[in-house]
Amino acid sequence: GDHLRGAARASPLLSFGGGGRGGVGAGRGGGERVAGMTDPASSNSVAYKQARETLDVAYEIAKILNTGLDRETVSIIIGLCENGANPQALAAVVEELRREGAALEAASTQS
């Protein structure tokens, strides 16, 4: 809905928290990526809280649906959709990457 659209409207993914590129969770020393945030210094802002809440909800839905997507991937997908990517095409890409990953894993165990 509109809540998801508003969360990732600006630049798609910026790092919050610790230095560097950041990572999935702030608890591991990296910052957390939150779609739509343009000012990392404003971590207390309403926009940050809304984007964080949107990501939390989307990630919980992804877990309930057993998508296997981690929090960072969900954030990236939200950002891509908000910037015009076709959701069905993204789903097809994720499925294809999983198939290729499984095939590579199977091939490496046979070697």
Q: Are 21 and 41 in contact (CB under 8 A)?
A: no
Q: What is the pLDDT along the chain (111 residues), one digit of tens a residue?
A: 444 444 333 333 333 333 333 333 333 334 555 655 555 555 569 989 999 999 999 999 999 999 999 999 999 999 999 999 999 999 999 999 999 999 999 999 987
Measure the CA–CA gap between 64 and 89, rounded to whole angstroms.
Answer: 22
Nearest to 75 by CA among 24, 17, 39, 27: 24
Domain-wise residue ranges, the chain: 2-85
pTM: 0.59
For 1-111, strand residue ranges (E) read: 13-16, 32-35
Helix axes 87-110, 71-82, angle to 10 degrees: 140
Quote the distance between the C-alpha of residue 74 and its chain's center: 3
